Amino acid sequence: MTSGEDFLARMSRASEIRARRLGARVGGSDLRRQAMNMSPPPPLRLSPEGFDLIAEIKLSSPSAGTLSRDTSAIEQRATVYAEAGACAVSVLTEPDRFGGSMDHLQRAARALEPAGVPAMAKDFLVAPEQVWAARVAGAGGILLIIRMLDQTRLSALLELALELGMFVLLEAFDRDDLERAAGLRVADDDNAGPVLLGLNCRNLRTLQVDPGRFGELAEHFPDLYPKVAESGIEGAEDVTAVASLGYSVALVGSALMKTPDPGTLVQDMIRAGRSASVG
């Protein structure tokens, strides 16, 4: 099977192409102006009870295949997640491998406004144009994959997102990524969103998850970031396990897309995490 590095390289190249097309179609200066003129997004509010959940909307993935063909239910699903207690809703915008779109993000963000819950653009972001476009579509947060970006570009995109009032989820896959996160400068501006650091326990070479990595790497997180557990979280038992290791947030996608009652699963996971939280 193709190596994980090759997978990310392919996604990066495709994202670079999309970013160039976006800039050519809309114009970077126009996007920047629109983004800067947007009203502030709903802030990410982390509970003092010690555990939170980011619930995800994704129609497909390379590992799980098709999860849903019902694009008409974006708003309903986002609302269900928020009403069940999710602190944010992650929305895939990558179109080729994950069935996402900026339209999905925009629709979810609008549906979440009454609840004051932010939508997070989840994609393989590589350029400022994509960050601006996410903010214009209503995103209150973005994902940045550490391994895909050199330190200069990673720092620049992080700073840009924080300037726009968004929160940022930095995604790590190994100890090297966690060490790079330690070297980032996180803004002290009160208007900037928080920065979270997530560990994705998926092996990009095999696409299999290894939950054991949550324990192996938990002690290597820099102290300044809330810890987020990503991938392989299927039920309350998994949440209990990661919360007991010091993770204060879980990002859950496939399990919520598969269940007929996502609201109840969100509630069950949050309850389990808060019961087991060591923080």
Average pLDDT estimate for 162-174:
96
The string of pLDDT tens digits covering residues 112-163 is 999 999 999 999 999 999 999 999 999 999 999 999 999 999 999 999 999 9
HSE (CB half, 13 Å, CA atoms) of 232? Answer: 20
The 3-state DSSP class for residue 145 equals strand
The string of pLDDT tens digits covering residues 203-259 is 777 778 999 999 999 999 999 899 999 999 999 999 999 999 999 999 998 999 999
**Where are any strands of DSSP class E within the chain?**
52-57, 60-61, 65-66, 88-92, 119-122, 141-145, 167-172, 195-200, 227-230, 249-252
What are the φ and ψ backbone dihedral angles of 143, each rounded to 5 degrees?
A: -100, 135
Q: Please provide the CATH number assigned to the domain covering 4-276.
A: 3.20.20.70
The string of pLDDT tens digits covering residues 4-50 is 558 888 899 999 999 999 888 877 788 999 999 999 999 999 999 99
**Contacts of 277 by beta carbon, 8 Å cutoff, 6+ apart:** 49, 50, 51, 243, 244, 248
CA 55/CA 169 separation, integer angstroms:
13
- Residue 2 is predicted with a pLDDT of 45
For helices 262-276 and 74-84, angle between their N-to-C axes, nearest 10 degrees: 30
The pTM of the full predicted model, rounded to 2 decimals, is 0.93
CB neighbours of residue 206 within 10 Å: 11
Q: Which band of pLDDT confidence, cut at 50, 70 and 90, is reported for residue 1?
A: very low
CA 86/CA 89 separation, integer angstroms:
7
CA 127/CA 149 separation, integer angstroms:
10
Average pLDDT estimate for 157-185:
95
- Residue 196 is predicted with a pLDDT of 97
Please say if the pLDDT value at position 3 is more than 70. Answer: no
CA 178/CA 7 separation, integer angstroms:
20
The string of pLDDT tens digits covering residues 49-99 is 999 999 999 987 777 777 777 778 899 999 999 999 999 999 999 998 898
Conformational region of residue 230, where left means phi above 0, alpha means psi within -120 to 50, and beta covers everything else: beta
HSE (CB half, 13 Å, CA atoms) of 20? Answer: 5
